[in-house]
Amino acid sequence: MLEQLDKPQHALTDSQAWAKVNWPALSVVVVWGIGTVAAKFLLGVFSPAGFLCLRNLAGGLILLTAVVLLRRGLRRSLRVSFFPLLGLGVLMSVQNLSFFGALNLTYANEAMLVFSTSPVWTGLIVAIAGLEVMSPRNWVGFFIALGGVALVVLGAGTTSSSVAPARITGDLIMLASAVLYGVYMILSRPLMQRHGTLVVTAVAMVLSNVVLVPVGLGELIATPWMQLTSLHWVLLAYTIFVGIGYGMIMWYRSVRLVGAARTIVYQYLVPIVTLAAAVAFLHEQPTRWQLAGIAVTLGGVYFASHRPGSPEARPVAQK
């Protein structure tokens, strides 16, 4: 859907999208994939609500500053669409809480893989609402993606309670988070068409703190700050300044400059980067059944969310 929100200079089909490497988009994929692992590590000290309270407040201010510097019509957007933007902010806060709450309960690679099904749910919702028609190819992809997720969840080996204290519960919550993100993308579409993706994302992230501050401020204050090492501080800065600041600004810039097809296809690499980072830094060891499930899920998501011969594609990840 993002391809319809900012008019690109070029429109490319999916096959053309892979013809030349889109290095800015690829860099963001790496940033977001590692960012999930960084967040998983930080949740060993922060509560999900406390972490989000700090992340969305700081990250939202960074994006808002970028909007002001780029002169994207912030005042007009707030004057014309404040209450719809506030509603998006509340929805974002709920979706974010479910995402990081789930991440705290399950493995990082499983969490991102389950979340990568969000385009499937977006397509299903708009099909049920009669806004779009899902082709037989899309329906096949939908069921393939669900089968892949089931393979990942059921194909796990022995779990470590210190890393995934309630893995199945976390995976189910993450599935709900993916659905919520699909709803967010549908509801944000008219506002993004009117005001631009960066403006809507920045304002929604700032306004999400209407919920996150009351919920998470006490937990943020109660964080054992003396236990934070230099690595914690580096990763915290990374998730805010690099993950949100660089990641979102560069992603939307890529959509505007080269088109959505050459940008959004790279989102399918995020779970793969997360898997590699989780293995390297968190020592998560997926089984062969899970690796097969990852491939099946990503293939299913691709078929469920793409139209043959069309530059259309739906985004996979939030952040």
Q: What is the pLDDT of residues 209-242, one digit of tens each?
A: 999 999 999 999 999 999 999 999 999 999 999 9
Does any domain span residue 310? no
How many angstroms separate the CA atoms of 147 and 138, rounded? 14
Calculate helix-pair angle for 48-70, 209-221, nearest 10 degrees.
130
Above 80 in pLDDT, residue 157? no
Does any domain span residue 9? yes
Per-residue confidence (pLDDT) for residue 313, from 0 to 100: 39
Amino acid at 100: F
pTM (2 decimals)? 0.86
Within 10 A of 301 (CB to CB), how many other CB atoms are there? 28
Domain hosting 229: range is 2-305
Does any domain span residue 128? yes
142 close to 280: Cβ distance less than 8 angstroms: no
How many angstroms separate the CA atoms of 69 and 65, rounded? 6
> What's the start-to-end Cα distance of the chain, in Å?
16
Per-residue confidence (pLDDT) for residue 126, from 0 to 100: 86
Does any domain span residue 50? yes
Does any domain span residue 269? yes
How many angstroms separate the CA atoms of 206 and 295, rounded? 36
212 close to 80: Cβ distance less than 8 angstroms: no
Instruction: Quote the number of domains for the chain.
Output: 1
Per-residue confidence (pLDDT) for residue 261, from 0 to 100: 64
pLDDT tens digits, 107-144 = 999 999 999 899 889 888 888 888 778 888 888 888 89
205 close to 318: Cβ distance less than 8 angstroms: no
Does any domain span residue 119? yes
pLDDT tens digits, 266-302 = 888 899 999 999 999 998 888 888 889 889 988 888 8
Sign of CA dihedral 123, 110, 254, 137: negative
